Structure 1
Amino acid sequence: MRRLLRRVLIAVAVVVLWAAGTLVTQLNSAQSADPPPARPAPTATPDPTPDPGEPAAAAVPDLRLGVQLSAHHRPGPGYARKVLARLARSGARWVRVDVGWATLQPNRTGPFERWYAELIDDVLAAARDHDIQVILEFWLTPAWASPNGSSYAPPTDPGAYAGAIGRAAQRWGHLVDAWEIWNEPNFEGFFEGADPQTYVNLLCAAYPAVKEYDDAPVLFGGIMYNDAPWLTRAYEAGAAGCFDALAVHPYIGPSDAAPETASVGAVWRLTSTPMVHDVMTTWGDGGKQIWITELGWSTGTENDGNAWNRPVSVPQQADFLRRAVRLVRAEYPYVGPIIWYRDVDGPTEAYQDGFGLLHPDLRAKPALRSFEAAVRGE
């Protein structure tokens, strides 16, 4: 849910997402499981002073927090290096880097596009220099591999995608710590058709191609929301055995709602994370982690007033970040890395461009201070 997604999402969310919520509610009813209650929102009052006779509990650093990188989409690699250095100082131990197959391999034959491959070389090396682990998300179909020329269309031949990501693993395996197969394949706007079987064909072709060169985890591409019904269909299509961890993007709807907002069987809630884990358990994958590879709230000032495109205030963004991390760590022990979407605001004032922890000039927003506190385990 990022980039062009915010504008596309508004047009389809009301119909598609409420329909998905109905399916999830029916699933929950069939299992006779009550939705989890809302957690009380923390107040703004300071924590009580500990009893002098009781030693204060030491905070445990959270080394599984990271940030989505967007800086490498700006001209030249220098800006991305500066952003990575700033994120490293904040304590970020992970960064998610999206790589466009369409840009990397615009021609069917021949080497990767040199300028783009060298840009990714530089970004990944800079992350390693700063001791930041990398999730490389690989997506967007070249025109020659697309059935209709669209970069959001699944490739006609999953083997073409597998060949490309295999070459990427051969080149960058020593710099990449996890591979994410596509982005939000359950969303029509990013994976035309949003068909589970088509995605599973892609996933199962990519898995051995990566493993031939790199034993890093392969992630089932970050599904939009906690979409348990779609995940069930993917398992029915044969997804088991083709991934090492499941990536989700548990954004909350309405988009200014608090992280503890009760699930009530809706897929667009952070508190619906257990529904996804239940599906994994049913299919024998309960021991695999869920990775949150996108989560965030926007402070963008320009929006159309739609509830799915509604920003929060700057202080709310910082507060919600802190509360979201606390909720996940307290309630969902099967969740691994949490990746905040995203690093830097801009280039516009629109909702889509307001998710950053930093201003474009790299001044910290209050949310960055919350991120730093979360890394410290506070």
Structure 2
Amino acid sequence: MRRSLMLTRLTLMLFTAAAPVSALASSYDQSPFGINGLKLAHARHDPNVWANASVKAKAMKDAGIYWDRLEIWWHVVEPEQGKFDWSYYDKVARFYREHGINGMVILCYSSAWSNGCPPTDDAERKRYANYVYQTVCRYKDTFKVWEIWNEPNIPTFWRVPDVKGYTLLLKEAYKAAKRADPECTVLAACTSGPGNDFIAGIYENGGRGYFDAISIHPYSMAGGPVSQRLDRIYRILKEIIRSKNGGKTVPLWVTEIGWTTQDPALEKAQACYLVQSYVISLSNNVEKIFWFCLDDWGEKWGLVRNFEPFDPKPSYHAYRLLTQYLGSPGVAASFEGYLKMPAGVAAYVFKKPNGERVLIIWTMEHITRRIRVAQRGEIRAEDIFGNRVEVCNGVLSVGSVPLIISGNGLKNIGAVSPAFNPYIEAPGQNLLNNGTLNVIHGASPAWWNPGRFDGTAGDGRFETVAEGRRGTMCVSIAESGERAAWDSTPIPVRAGRRYRLVGWLRTRNATGNNQLGLFWYTGDMWHYLREDRSETLVGTNDWTKISITATAPQNAAFVRVNLIGEKNRGQVWFDDLTLVEE
């Protein structure tokens, strides 16, 4: 989340060391539906802050959203060491109580006297712990969930990311929070991206036992949740946690996730992505999911364009429909399992506390299929935009727009099991999106970029042409400089596992480096670790099969496939790429 990184001051208060406290029974509303909504820390100088917040709070509750993520800034509540000023946040707490909204609080950021630096020495960590203790003590009857910092794995929020330093801070903060309120819940990590390496580092630096849940921000750089492989991201992360936590998992919260609508044509896609991201998250036992964000704040991430007059996007209506079917506030329908479907169809079964079932279904590709649901009574179907869908003897058409199916006819729909997860990869399955390069979006293959995502490697002539091995689409690079490559969107990988990349290259008067590459990145999706390259092809060659096998580095969470054509005075073509986990 973008936020002001202003400074604060504080006095040192000594604490009696407390041992790690085990997580207690949840003391808060169990609805999984949340949002980064009111943003009251940023509005404290707005003369209309409370009137505006009331309008937003109503919009949230009308959509069935009763959880909000907020910040209590250290520098605001303690502008001088030892001198606390609670005047604004007392009003904030009262607002949440009066409007019946649950708050999940980020305890952030740097102190007023630290020149924008996070707490990196023992004295400053104790000062931060004092701020945590004082804040939790004061507001424990209003707020029960506390998140320690925000995205400490990127320089935006922790000047020089340091997992050891963050873990030391986490331990002090946890002890302070539990001393103030033993029943509170403390969230750790709060990573940009899934943060696999950072979360592993918390365990490796002694953080086990100093948090009740882990929070992450699994934003996508690969389109929607399906092409992003959100389900795979969760599965890999949980494997890491179990490996570091004695074979046990811990509760997982998603405290930011979202998609922008800079292009208005993407508004319906945003609604689909919202429903898919919540459903995939709930099926992976994510406890709470906070959408980013309510309104178009800064960039067009919001569910709402404007509040005066009220102008919601399709995603707002989709969120409301989801909460109406699954239930909020209170205990929502629980994920029961997947209904077995033909390949390419994902069908999620939820069961309400009263035993009623809800089926949410979509195709995993942009195609429409006719499917059959075993019907033993009445069933009704509508898409997430509220359009009724015809069901005839259990047969209906389903596409990439999620459908919600309900009715007493779902009581006996056949076998339902978590084992039917359609996203679990078969051995030898291609992990690449659009490895054939035949799906075209604009002037390029979907999920491929001419030049790397960071703005480099664009020095050449990039073309998408129907000159592939079978007369289908392929890509080429010609007349290139020092750095030129087609770059795939990121693919989630398991550190330490071997991956094999195979592709076909054709060249004409080629010079320089014409090859395949595996570029490895950490869990923040930005930090480059290493690259592995295949042999190069020069001269003039018909279609030639090229491959490379490499082991994902220790801290790798993602890989990007690169189709490289560097310092090439001629031309190279690429086609039919496959990436397999061995």
Please state whether the residue corresponding to 1:223 is helix, strand or coil.
strand
Match of 2:56 among 73, 83, 86: 83
Q: Which amino acid aligns with 1:260?
A: V
Match of 1:200 among 155, 167, 171: 167
TM-aligned CA distance change 1:343 to 1:270, over 3 Å: farther
Q: How far apart in 2 are the matches of 1:189 and 1:313?
A: 27
Map of 2:111 onto structure 1: 142
Q: Does 1:375 align with 2:323?
A: yes
Q: Which of 119-128 and 208-217 deviates more?
A: 119-128
TM-aligned CA distance change 1:344 to 1:118, over 3 Å: farther
Match of 2:266 among 307, 313, 331: 313
Please state whether the residue corresponding to 1:206 is helix, strand or coil.
helix
Please state whether the residue corresponding to 2:180 is helix, strand or coil.
coil
TM-aligned CA distance change 1:203 to 1:184, over 3 Å: same
How far apart are residue 241 of structure 1 and its match? 0.8
Match of 1:129 among 98, 103, 109: 98
Q: Does 1:296 align with 2:288?
A: no
How far apart are residue 312 of structure 1 and its match? 7.0
Please state whether the residue corresponding to 1:293 is helix, strand or coil.
strand
How far apart are residue 70 of structure 1 and its match? 4.2
Please state whether the residue corresponding to 1:247 is helix, strand or coil.
strand
Please state whether the residue corresponding to 2:61 is helix, strand or coil.
helix
Please state whether the residue corresponding to 1:355 is helix, strand or coil.
coil
Q: Structure 2 matches for 1:244-323, cutoff 5 A?
A: 244-254=212-222, 257-263=223-229, 271-284=232-245, 286-300=248-262, 313-323=266-276
Match of 2:313 among 365, 370, 374: 365
C-alpha contact (below 8 Å) 2:68/2:101 kept by paired residues:
yes
Q: Structure 2 matches for 1:222-261, cutoff 5 A?
A: 222-254=190-222, 257-261=223-227
Q: How far apart in 2 are the matches of 1:279 and 1:200?
A: 17
Which structure has greater helix proportion? Answer: 1
Q: How far apart in 1 are the matches of 2:194 and 2:265?
A: 21
Calculate percent identity across the aligned residue pairs.
Answer: 25
Q: Does 1:174 align with 2:125?
A: no
Any idea what the Cα deviations from partners look like across 1:228-278, whole Å, max 9, x if unmatched? 112111211111011000000000114xx0111254xxxxx5641222211
Q: How far apart in 2 are the matches of 1:262 and 1:314?
A: 18
Q: Structure 2 matches for 1:41-56, cutoff 5 A?
A: none
Q: Does 1:102 align with 2:75?
A: yes
Q: Which amino acid aligns with 2:268?
A: P
How far apart are residue 279 of structure 1 and its match? 1.8
Q: How far apart in 1 are the matches of 2:95 and 2:185?
A: 21
Q: How far apart in 1 are the matches of 2:94 and 2:313?
A: 26
How far apart are residue 88 of structure 1 and its match? 1.4
Any idea what the Cα deviations from partners look like across 1:294-324, whole Å, max 9, x if unmatched? 00011135xxxxxxxxx97111111110111
Please state whether the residue corresponding to 1:292 is helix, strand or coil.
strand
Which entry has the higher C-alpha Rg, 1 or 2? 2
Give TM-score scaled by structure 2 length: 0.47
Q: Which of 354-363 and 210-219 deviates more?
A: 354-363
Map of 2:187 onto structure 1: 219
Please state whether the residue corresponding to 2:146 is helix, strand or coil.
strand
Q: How far apart in 2 are the matches of 1:4 and 1:161?
A: 18
C-alpha contact (below 8 Å) 1:226/1:270 kept by paired residues:
no
Map of 2:447 onto structure 1: none
Give TM-score scaled by structure 1 length: 0.72
Q: Does 1:325 align with 2:293?
A: no
Map of 1:64 onto structure 2: 32
TM-aligned CA distance change 1:297 to 1:284, over 3 Å: same
Q: How far apart in 2 are the matches of 1:221 and 1:120?
A: 24
TM-aligned CA distance change 1:312 to 1:153, over 3 Å: farther
Please state whether the residue corresponding to 2:312 is helix, strand or coil.
coil
TM-aligned CA distance change 1:101 to 1:63, over 3 Å: same
Q: How far apart in 1 are the matches of 2:251 and 2:93?
A: 24
Any idea what the Cα deviations from partners look like across 1:78-115, whole Å, max 9, x if unmatched? 32232112211211121100121122212112122xxx
C-alpha contact (below 8 Å) 2:33/2:290 kept by paired residues:
yes
Q: How far apart in 2 are the matches of 1:120 and 1:274?
A: 38
Q: How far apart in 1 are the matches of 2:133 and 2:92?
A: 19
Any idea what the Cα deviations from partners look like across 1:323-377, whole Å, max 9, x if unmatched? 11122223x02x100000112213xxxxx42111122324322111111122122
Q: Does 1:154 align with 2:100?
A: no
Map of 1:345 onto structure 2: 296
TM-aligned CA distance change 1:71 to 1:284, over 3 Å: closer
Q: How far apart in 2 are the matches of 1:272 and 1:369?
A: 27
Q: Which of 121-130 and 77-86 deviates more?
A: 121-130
Q: How far apart in 1 are the matches of 2:214 and 2:147?
A: 9
TM-aligned CA distance change 1:161 to 1:270, over 3 Å: farther
Q: How far apart in 2 are the matches of 1:328 and 1:162?
A: 32
Which consecutive residues of structure 2, in runs of 5 or more, have no partner in the other structure? 6-29, 327-403, 405-582
Q: Structure 2 matches for 1:177-192, cutoff 5 A?
A: 177-192=144-159
Q: How far apart in 1 are the matches of 2:4 and 2:226?
A: 27
Q: How far apart in 2 are the matches of 1:312 and 1:227?
A: 31
Q: What's the Cα RMSD here?
A: 2.2
Which structure has greater strand proportion? Answer: 2
C-alpha contact (below 8 Å) 1:103/1:142 kept by paired residues:
no
Q: How far apart in 2 are the matches of 1:141 and 1:3?
A: 12
Please state whether the residue corresponding to 1:187 is helix, strand or coil.
coil
Q: How far apart in 1 are the matches of 2:265 and 2:118?
A: 33
C-alpha contact (below 8 Å) 1:71/1:79 kept by paired residues:
no
TM-aligned CA distance change 1:123 to 1:320, over 3 Å: same
Q: How far apart in 2 are the matches of 1:128 and 1:357?
A: 24
